[in-house]
Structure 1
C-alpha cells in the first residue's frame, strides 16, 4: 500500500501533524505515537521498519505519529487516537510517568495499549496490555559483564576506575540501563570503582563534552560505560582528542558508529539491538492482543553481547 502524509491546518488537528497512514483498510486500525524520531538513527529506522511491517500486513491500517520528544504533544496524540476509536494504541513514551493518565484514558475507553521500547512507570502497568521491547536492565547488566571480563583479561579488575555516561534523565530506558550496570558491576567486579555518572542525553556531542570534563577531572580512567554507542563514540572522540589511550569503551546498544569503532579496535563492546526487530515485535504484539492470543505482559526480545571477539557473527547495524 502507498503511504501518505497528512498535514494539519488547525490547532484542533495539531496532534496529527506529520501523521503517516500505512497498511490496508481491513481488520485492525492501530495507532502509534513515537518518542522522538529525529533524535537518533535508531528511532528513524524503527519508524521506517514499523511502516514497512504495517504495509506488508493487509489486515492492518496504521496511524503513525511522532511526539518529537514533547510530552504534551504525545498526550494530545493519545487523546486524538482515542477519539478516532482505533483498535489498539502503541506508545513509545516520552516520559514514563507523565503519559500514564493518557494511557489510563485509553484503557478506560476499551482500547488496549502496547508500550514499545521503553516502559512506563510501574504505577501505570494496570492500564497496559503488554510491553514489547528490550530488557533494558539486562542490557545494562550484560554491559557490566562485558567490561568486567575485559578488565579481568587485562589483569586490572582489582584497581580499575570507571565513569558512566547515562541517557536522558527521567527516561525509563536510561534509568533501567543505568540500574542494570550499577547493580551488576559490583557483583562481578567488586573492586572496580565507579567514580562518577553524568547524563549525555543520547547525544554524541554532549557526551563528548561530558567525557572531556571527566578527562580533566580524573587522571586515571580505565573504562567508560555509555547508555548507547552514539554517546559512547562521543566519549571515544574526546579521549582520542586528548591522547588518552587504553580506555575500555562499552555501550548498551550497538550503533553503526560503534560497530565501525569496534572494527578499528577502538571500542570494545556493546549490546546488539535491532530497531527492525523492535518495530516488528511491537506491531505483532498489538495484533496478537487484538486477536485474543496469550501475550506475556513483558514481551522481551533478545539482545546479545557483542565485542571485538565475536562481532563477525553480527551484521553491521543499519542505524
Structure 2
C-alpha cells in the first residue's frame, strides 16, 4: 500500500478515474460481469494505480463499479451494502481497518458473493476467496538488509508503524525478524504508530528522537510516514547522523533519494498497476468457476541510490 498523497491538478486521466466514484463503471461498459470495487482512498496515488491496472486488464470482460470511501470506514460499509443490494457478481475490497472490516466482509460472503481483498487483509476468515497484496514481509526483510548496510551492523533503530493495517504489520515483522537474524548489533528500541499520516508521524518521530537520542536509523512502514519522520530529523539537525527507510517508492520519496544529501536513504517499491491487473485476472478466474490461490503475493524491490532513476516519476 502506497501512502503518498498525490496532488491532483486538472489531469484528464485522473479525473476520468475519479469519475467512477459515484457508482459508474470503468472500462467494460456492457461487460458480462459487474464487480463492485471499494478502495482505501484515492488521495493516495498507490490506490489510483491499482484501479488503473484493474481497469486496463478488464478489457471489456468486467464492468467495474469503483467506489472511494476516502479512508472512512462507515462510507466503505455503505458502499458494500450498495454492492450487495444491487447484486454485483463479485466484490473487491481494500479494507480500511483489518479488524473492523469483518462485518462488511461477512455481508458480502453471506450474500453468496465472492470477495477478494486487495493490499490490506481482513483479520478474520469471513469466507474471502483470495487476498492479493505485495509480499510485505519480504519487503520488510529487504529494508532490514539495507538498514544493516547503512548502519554498518550497529546502532539503534525506531519503527513508525500502523498496527490497524495487516499489510504494514507484515512489513514491520519482516523488518524486525530479518534485522535480528543478520544484525544482532542493531537494536529496535521503540515502535510506535504514526496512523499513516505525515504530521502524526512527524510528531511521533520528534518524541522518539528525544526519548532515544542514540537513534541512527528509522524504518517507517510507508513513505508518507517516512517523509514525516524526515521533517523531524531535519528539525533536530540530524540529517547527517540518521538514515531513514520508507516503503512504497512514492514520487516524493524517490526525489529525496535522488537528491543525494537527504536522510531518506531507501524505500521499497511495490507494483500497484500489476497488483490491479492481478486482481482482474483473479476475479475473471473466479467468475469463470476456476480455482485460485488464497494468497497471491506481488513481488517488491528495494530502491536506493543505485537504481532510483528506474522508479522516478
Counterpart of 2:122? 120
Contact 2:254 2:311 (8 Å CA) reproduced = no
Is residue 41 from structure 1 mapped to residue 45 from structure 2 by the alignment? yes
Deviation for aligned residue 1:49: 4.5
Q: Secondary structure at the match of 1:63?
A: strand
Is residue 200 from structure 1 mapped to residue 194 from structure 2 by the alignment? yes
Say which of 260, 272, 275 aligns to 2:272. 275
Contact 1:5 1:21 (8 Å CA) reproduced = no
Deviation for aligned residue 1:87: 0.9
Give the TM-score taking structure 1 as reference length. Answer: 0.84
Counterpart of 2:227? 233
Corresponding residue pairs, total: 294
Counterpart of 1:252? 247
Deviation for aligned residue 1:53: 4.4
Deviations 1:54-104 (A, max 9, x none): 4xx112111111222222222222122111111110000011122223322
Deviations 1:205-233 (A, max 9, x none): 22222222223233222111001122112
Is residue 292 from structure 1 mapped to residue 289 from structure 2 by the alignment? yes
Contact 2:144 2:175 (8 Å CA) reproduced = yes
Counterpart of 1:150? 150
Counterpart of 1:20? 24
Instruction: Report which structure shows greater RCO (CA 8 Å, sep ≥6).
Output: 2
Cα pair distance change 1:262/1:109, threshold 3 Å: same
Q: Secondary structure at the match of 2:92?
A: strand
Counterpart CA distance in 2 for 1:202 and 1:239 is 18
Counterpart CA distance in 1 for 2:282 and 2:157 is 38
Residue range with higher mean Cα deviation, 105-114 or 254-263: 105-114
Deviation for aligned residue 1:183: 2.0
Contact 1:31 1:89 (8 Å CA) reproduced = yes
Counterpart of 1:13? none
Counterpart CA distance in 2 for 1:133 and 1:118 is 7
Counterpart CA distance in 2 for 1:143 and 1:4 is 33
Cα pair distance change 1:310/1:99, threshold 3 Å: same
Say which of 279, 300, 304 aligns to 2:301. 304
Is residue 315 from structure 1 mapped to residue 289 from structure 2 by the alignment? no
RMSD over aligned Cα atoms: 2.2
Counterpart CA distance in 2 for 1:43 and 1:109 is 26
Deviations 1:218-251 (A, max 9, x none): 3222111001122112212221232112211111
Counterpart CA distance in 1 for 2:60 and 2:91 is 18
Counterpart CA distance in 1 for 2:305 and 2:197 is 24
Is residue 141 from structure 1 mapped to residue 138 from structure 2 by the alignment? no
Q: Secondary structure at the match of 2:175?
A: helix
Give the TM-score taking structure 2 as reference length. Answer: 0.86
Deviations 1:112-145 (A, max 9, x none): 1110011111x31x51111112122222222112
Say which of 232, 236, 253 aligns to 1:242. 236
Contact 2:268 2:300 (8 Å CA) reproduced = yes
Any gaps of 5 or more consecutive residues in structure 2? 1-15
Cα pair distance change 1:4/1:209, threshold 3 Å: closer
Contact 2:156 2:187 (8 Å CA) reproduced = yes
